[in-house]
Structure 1
Amino acid sequence: MLEIFPAIDLKEGKAVRLFQGEMASAKIYGEASEFAKKFEDLGAKWVHIVDLDGAFCGKPKNLAVIENIAKTCQLKIQLGGGIRDEDTIKTYTDMGIDRLILGSVAMKNPAFVKEMAKKYKIAVGIDSKNGKVAVDGWAKTGEIKDLELAEMFQNSDIDAIICTDISRDGALSGINVEWTLQMAKHSGCFCIASGGFKDKNDLYALEQGLKDNAMCGGVIIGKAYYEGQVDLGWVLKRFV
């Protein structure tokens, strides 16, 4: 099974896309709520939202926009960016957010993430740069290796791991299928591929890789949709 997650990256309330996580590269595409509605109309079940401003400053910065999306569409929402404590998790859960992504704090305090996963629907975001985990809006790279961090969440209660290959993010260069499968094997978790999605060939390759390994997973579709490189309606009919 391959789940599809069309993406909305939020910067100052607008839907944008970055290149390799650089805020200065942000290209504005329009109102986030309008894209959420488009995804719903096309048949999506999920929307993947990242509060980019929140990721960089470590606390929520686009609450009003996120709450509006939660109220005005029926999509399940997977949300990350600046979620570092239980109060923020509870705020978003009370808002109706279905799954919350913990990234920086997962590297810094994996025990906290495991504890939160017992109470809330939690995904771990593992963002990799040259095999090392990047944190704080990808502004810093730690010493821990991506596969080592994935292994820490074996047999935990987390819902998923979202694995982003930063070198491919926003580059339309194709997702890193083999690395995504390695992350799934090391964690034993449902893994969602992120970074570089280009076209339907990525979908076929990931689908086949998951099938060969008797695993389920997902993929995040961002820039390829916004730049008109992929027919999201066809993708959702084929895979959802």
Structure 2
Amino acid sequence: MYRTRSFPPNKEGRDFVVGDIHGHFKLLTAALNKLDFNTELDRIFSVGDLIDRGPDSIDILNWLEKPWFHAVRGNHEQMLIDCISGHGDIPRHIRNGGAWLYELQPDIQQELSKALQALPLIIEINLSSDQTIGIVHAEAPVIRSNDGWQEAKDAITGSSGEPHQRHALRTALYAREKIEQQDHTSIKGIDRLYVGHSTVPSVIRLGNVVYIDTGCSFSDGALSLVDIQTETIISISMGQ
């Protein structure tokens, strides 16, 4: 099932969005400590690719149980789901950092797949200022040139038909067209959209789309978080 999830304004604490984590949960913990993250009041939203490449991918089961941690599904989550269901390309997954999975017991593999299947493809967060913030892994799944955020959500959930849904899923999980073309067109119907997937040297913005995967799975990369309300950026480099 492919779904979207909406969150009400956080009137008590702060909201952060974090780039691709890729199993570097110790780095994420260091970032949250630096931010004095308050687990009673604050929330963190992930653009997906929580697993593979880094040392602590198995920790995702613990993180997904935290009531203040929320994530969309990325292409690495989809690769795990596909491989465990028997429809994936296991050698490709291993080449892309998935070898850790196949060292686990089958029941743990199934538990991971089930947990990741529960992740939405799209998250939207309503701010107290009447703004709406979107989160998707790779690109907004707009199918036609005049589509906006609502049409993207309809495509993901399948309410605009199966062919549109298939196209929308590929776009949400894998697309890089907007950044490759340096397309500054804004996505209609949303104030700001945070994405990962395409590695950038520092957080960049194209129109109202913000790219926040600063490559924490590479030795010269960093894990970046953005305070959604203030748009303040914090980055923790791999060397720290």
Per the TM superposition, whether the score is higher than 0.5 is: no
TM-score, with normalisation over the residues of structure 1? 0.37
TM-score, with normalisation over the residues of structure 2? 0.37
Report which of the two has the higher share of helix: 1
